[in-house]
Structure 1
Amino acid sequence: MRPSVIVIALLLFAGFSLGLSRPKPRGWIQLFNGKDLKDWSVKISKHPLDDNFGNTFRVEDGKLVVRYDQYKTFDEQFGHIFYKKPFSAYLLAVEYRFVGEQVAGGPGWAVRNSGAMLHCQDPKTMGVDQDFPISLEMQLLGGDGQHERHTANLCTPGTNVVMNGKLFTPHCIDSKSKTYHGDRWVRAETLVLGDSLVKHIVEGDTVLTYEKPQIGGGNVIHYDPAVKKDGQLLREGYISLQSESHPVEFRKVELFDLAPYLNKPEQLRKVLRQLQNRK
């Protein structure tokens, strides 16, 4: 990655908002088509790939939703739904909200908790009992009506990142986002530039920045050791959405592919400016 690419991204994405009613530059890919899950694969812990246990992931009223009405208890059956192809450099946007009550048996930390997983390992390489893909998680949290609770945080199952020039090894770090209580829709975005720069953005505000995502650390179990190559930079990977025991809905999952511009700083500058300045 050329240093100038990082500088361009930092300058242009200091403040960033898509705006739901604003015209968008060409190049957006609707990962979720609003109709079905044909472009997605499901991996739920304790179940083989593409066993959508309990019809956990489904489409209702044009939304991709996570439901637990067919569960007796959660039983640590953490799930992820993966888009069909990997990406290296992109702007990902999800519009989500939490609804209802947590399923019986869900861990206390998972109340109103989900996430968009970035640079995921191929779901075909996950162990049957593996809980999370080796990946970066843009953790999505809903407010509890009382306490401050940031969203678009970073969690790192089987990964580490660099922050402020130093390797960051704790599992999670809070963003500086606002707290979003109730069942309101929230738009969260992440700018990913290969193995160099990642930024989390919520409702137009950049809330977290880190660099050099790489395999390492813990917080993932029952993985294939051959896949977990500690120290290896993550240049690309799959995108997935979580089921962590609380019902959640996604009405939009879209991506602007920046890979064609990654080694063309002037073109990248133009595209990022268009994305930032659309009105």
Structure 2
Amino acid sequence: MHFLPVSLRSMAFLAVLACVSSAALAEDWTALFNGKDLEGWTPKIRYSALGENYGNTFRVEDGLLKVRYDQYEKFDERFGHLFYREPLSHYRLRVEYRFVGDQAPGGPGWAIRNSGVMIHGEAPQTMAKDQDFPASIEVQLLGGAATGERTNANLCTPGTNVVMEGKLVTRHCTSSKSKTYRGDEWVTVEIEVHGGKVIRHLIDGEEVLSYEQPQLDDRDAHAKELAAKQGGQLLLNGGTISLQSESHPIDFRKVELLKLKD
């Protein structure tokens, strides 16, 4: 087993999170996206070298950070990630985004109106050229179709696991309790991260999902290699953050960070 039992101490920690959140609202946020260019960010797109922005996938236009596929003939599973330069551990990350247009030709059906923010990720330098996703915790950004329900700010775990209610969760994705967000409206998603302890997903200030003890999955060969490099430890206390390109165009008008004390 690779997780700790829920204790009174951890329960007390959960009890004060609301106070931490309220205090954070009064602080100054730092813009990670300057509205002009991709300074501070590095793309890693599948089948391309680190730093190569294949097809001008990630671009800045009209003050927005845009993810586009108009220079692709076909998507061909070229999943991409735009990595911020600094690894992080204790913080709040806030993004304002909207889905636009149609999915790239050849994109998988599940990726329609689907993108994400990766946290606690591996360094892009450790990714293989043909690797699709970094070992990380994914906060899914999801838009609904004209009909039917689809929760937003879900959790997916490429090469990782988490603990919920004292139990190790090994399934790949877990749904949040959010409503469905349709159309091209702007949506604000926040992620509150307390190192290797509690992580919360919020939409418009309301918590929709929480979990704790993010860790590498020792069933995954690449994750095992990463764990070996950190002395065999599976628990993740921090890591990279990145924005996804998964075949559906998306705009970000804000990417903001508030660092928290350990």
User: What TM-score, normalized by structure 2, do the two folds share?
Assistant: 0.90
Structure 2: gaps spanning 5 or more residues: 1-6
Q: CA deviation at 1:9?
A: 5.0
How many residue pairs get aligned? The number is 253
Query: 1:98-144: CA deviations, max 9, x gaps?
Result: 00000110000000000000011001111100000000000010111
Q: CA deviation at 1:15?
A: 11
State the match for 1:235 in structure 2: 237
Q: Report the 3-state secondary structure (helix = DSSP H, G, I; strand = E; otherwise coil) of the residue aligned with 1:109.
A: helix
CA contact (8 A) 1:187 1:203 kept: yes
1:226 equivalent to 2:231? Answer no
CA contact (8 A) 2:47 2:130 kept: yes
State the match for 1:61 in structure 2: 62
Question: Cα gap change, 1:239/1:69 in structure 2, threshold over 3 Å: closer, same or farther?
Answer: same
Q: CA deviation at 1:28?
A: 1.7
State the match for 1:99 in structure 2: 100
State the match for 1:7 in structure 2: 12
Residue type matched to 2:18 in 1? Answer: F
Residue type matched to 2:237 in 1? Answer: R
Q: CA deviation at 1:25?
A: 3.3
Question: Cα gap change, 1:233/1:15 in structure 2, threshold over 3 Å: closer, same or farther?
Answer: closer
Q: CA deviation at 1:147?
A: 1.1
Q: CA deviation at 1:17?
A: 8.6
Question: Cα gap change, 1:206/1:52 in structure 2, threshold over 3 Å: closer, same or farther?
Answer: same
Residue type matched to 2:257 in 1? Answer: L
Residue type matched to 2:12 in 1? Answer: V
- Residues 200-215 of structure 1 mapped to structure 2, 5 A cutoff: 200-215=201-216
Taking the aligned partners of 2:171 and 2:223, their CA distance within structure 1 comes to: 22
- Residues 166-181 of structure 1 mapped to structure 2, 5 A cutoff: 166-181=167-182
State the match for 2:114 in structure 1: 113
Question: Cα gap change, 1:246/1:14 in structure 2, threshold over 3 Å: closer, same or farther?
Answer: farther
Residue type matched to 1:137 in 2? Answer: E
Taking the aligned partners of 2:103 and 2:37, their CA distance within structure 1 comes to: 24
- Residues 65-144 of structure 1 mapped to structure 2, 5 A cutoff: 65-144=66-145
CA contact (8 A) 2:218 2:224 kept: no
CA contact (8 A) 2:217 2:223 kept: no
Taking the aligned partners of 1:70 and 1:14, their CA distance within structure 2 comes to: 47
Give identity over the alignment, percent: 55
CA contact (8 A) 2:227 2:233 kept: no
Q: CA deviation at 1:58?
A: 0.3
User: What TM-score, normalized by structure 1, do the two folds share?
Assistant: 0.84
Q: Report the 3-state secondary structure (helix = DSSP H, G, I; strand = E; otherwise coil) of the residue aligned with 2:72.
A: coil
State the match for 1:28 in structure 2: 29
CA contact (8 A) 1:158 1:228 kept: no
Taking the aligned partners of 1:27 and 1:17, their CA distance within structure 2 comes to: 13
